[in-house]
Amino acid sequence: TNPDRVKIVEVGPRDGLQNEPYLVPTDAKIELIERLSDTGLSAVEASAFVSPKWVPQMADASEVITGIKKRPGVRYPVLTPNLKGLERAIEAGVDEIAVFGAASESFSQKNINCSIKESLERFSPVIATALKENIRVRGYVSCVLGCPYEGPIAAEKVAEVSRELHAMGCSEISLGDTIGIGTPLLTKRMIETVAKSVPIEQLAGHYHDTYGQALANIFASWELGIRVFDTSVSGLGGCPYAKGASGNVATEDVIYMFNGMGVETGVDLTKLVETAWYISGVLGKAPGSKLARVMEEQ
């Protein structure tokens, strides 16, 4: 991996908006995604083909995916928990999907209503079918640094689930600190363990900022060689399972940090901050990043 370049996967339209109590109109989601892809981001996670009963915020996944003007060179991954989700996603014409598992049994049950083992059995045909259709597959592992129900999670368990997803054909394994509980040295230890099972070039850091640790965890991960990070414009989101939880780390704060380090992201910070203000206006709340506030004042 190039030490001077990172890939940012923008997850605001999915991970952010799935946790916003306000149901954002489809047109506004489309505008958000198009604005994000105009900033130079190469991946914008656009929606989730999950059960609308479980997550009403993502019920319009098909309309969103078919509605966006796709920019060449940009990928628009979507979540697919099962074959039904994959079928809907294929019909909408997606080029990348993500399956999502967990390193915690309780979280797996609450999030996707099955055990870890059952989830992997369920993902196997989803991944195989997607690959046959030339659709790239990401694999998420949640609760890599702790679980809202079980507390600490063993890094070996994270490695085990990551290894299985990788073996099934996921080209990127995104390590989710779902409740943002991790700190930099714990994050490093977890990654060192997982990297024994999956090549570090294929790992991504997905850190929520609940305890304000996400930037530090990204830096720690970068030091170990991680070059893919999932972030959310304006720090959108939260977590229905964690009281007082913030969303993912804000994309613009991460871009600012990498700019300062001389690490290329390809993202135009001014356009990104404008987009943070745009979606904040839609949601009727202040942007959740430090940078949006600073750049507004200038």
In this complex, which beta carbon is closest to ligand HMG, that of residue 47 or of residue 280? Answer: 47
> How far is residue 123's CA from residue 86's CA, in Å, rounded to a whole number?
10
> How far is residue 245's CA from residue 154's CA, in Å, rounded to a whole number?
22
| Beta pairing, strands 43-44 & 96-102 | unpaired
84 binds, among Mg ion, ligand HMG, none (CB under 5 to 8 A by kind): ligand HMG
Active site residue 143: no
Binding site for Mg ion (CB under 5 A): 15
CB of 262 to ligand HMG, least distance (A): 29
Q: Which of 148, 178, 147 is nearest to 19 (CA)?
A: 178
94 binds, among Mg ion, ligand HMG, none (CB under 5 to 8 A by kind): none
> How far is residue 113's CA from residue 28's CA, in Å, rounded to a whole number?
30
> How far is residue 273's CA from residue 223's CA, in Å, rounded to a whole number?
26
CB of 211 to Mg ion, least distance (A): 15
Binding site for ligand HMG (CB under 6 A): 15, 18, 48-51, 53-55, 79, 81-82, 84-85, 88, 100, 111-113, 140, 142, 176, 178, 206, 208
Two tokens, residue 272: 């990104």
In this complex, which beta carbon is closest to ligand HMG, that of residue 85 or of residue 182? Answer: 85
DSSP conformational letter for 264: B
CB of 167 to Mg ion, least distance (A): 23
107 binds, among ligand HMG, Mg ion, none (CB under 5 to 8 A by kind): none
DSSP conformational letter for 147: B
Query: Annotated catalytic sites, by residue?
Result: 239
